[in-house]
Amino acid sequence: MNKFVNIKSSKVTVKFSNTGKLNKLNEFRKEYVKTVLGFVDVMWEMEDIPSLVTTEISKKVTSNLMSRSLQAAGKQASGIVRGTRKKNKQRLFIYDKLIKNGKLKLARKLLAKIKKTPVGKPTIDKVNPQLDSRFFEIILGGKTCFDGWLTFKQIGLKERISIPIKLTKHINKLQSSGYRLMKSVCLNRESVTLCFEKEAIPFAPEGNTIGVDIGIKALYSVSDGRQSSQDIHGHTLDTICRKLCRKKKDSKGFKRAQAHRKNHINMCLNQLSLNGVRTLKLENIKNLNRGKRVSKYLARWTYADIKSKLESMCKESGVLIQYIDQTYTSQRCSSCGWTRKGNRHGVSFKCKSCGFTANADLNASINISLNLPPIGRKKRLQHPNRTGFYWYVVGQEPIVPVVTEIKLTLE
* Cα-based torsion angle of the residue sequence 250, 256, 257, 262 in order, rounded to the nearest 10 degrees: 110
> Percent of the chain scored above 90 by pLDDT?
32
Q: Is the pLDDT of residue 398 over 80?
A: no
pLDDT on residue 212: 94
Section 187-201 average pLDDT = 89
DSSP assignment of 62-93 equals: ---S-HHHHHHHHHHHHHHHHHHHHHHHHHHH
Section 194-204 average pLDDT = 87
Find all residues with CB under 8 Å of 270, minimum gap 6, and list them: none
Integer Cα distance of 278 and 102 in angstroms: 39
Of the listed ranges 4-8, 12-16, 206-210, the least confidently predicted one is: 4-8
- Res. 124 pLDDT band, cuts 50 70 90: low
From 61, 129, 124, 119, select the one nearest 88 (Cα to Cα). Answer: 119
Integer Cα distance of 311 and 106 in angstroms: 30
pLDDT on residue 1: 37
User: In angstroms, what CA-CA distances link 171 with 168, 177, 311, 404?
Assistant: 5, 10, 19, 57
- For the four alpha carbons of 34, 36, 37 and 38, in that order, the dihedral sign comes to positive
Integer Cα distance of 71 and 135 in angstroms: 12
| pTM, full prediction | 0.73
From 184, 268, 257, 182, select the one nearest 221 (Cα to Cα). Answer: 268
Q: Is the pLDDT of residue 281 over 90?
A: yes
Residue 238, CB half-sphere, CA atoms under 13 Å: how many? 11
pLDDT tens per residue across span 143-177: 788 888 999 887 766 678 889 999 999 999 899 98
Mean pLDDT score of the chain? 86
pLDDT on residue 264: 93
> Residue 385 CA to chain centroid, in angstroms?
32
Do 294 and 333 meet the contact criterion of CB atoms below 8 Å apart?
A: no
Section 286-306 average pLDDT = 81
Complete domains list, the chain, with CATH = 5-16+133-199 (3.30.1410), 26-123 (no CATH), 208-324 (3.30.420), 338-410 (no CATH)
pLDDT tens per residue across span 340-375: 999 998 889 999 888 899 999 999 999 999 988 888
Section 372-381 average pLDDT = 86
pLDDT on residue 209: 92
Q: What is the 3-state secondary structure (H, E, C) of 176-192?
A: HCCCEEEEEEEECCCEE
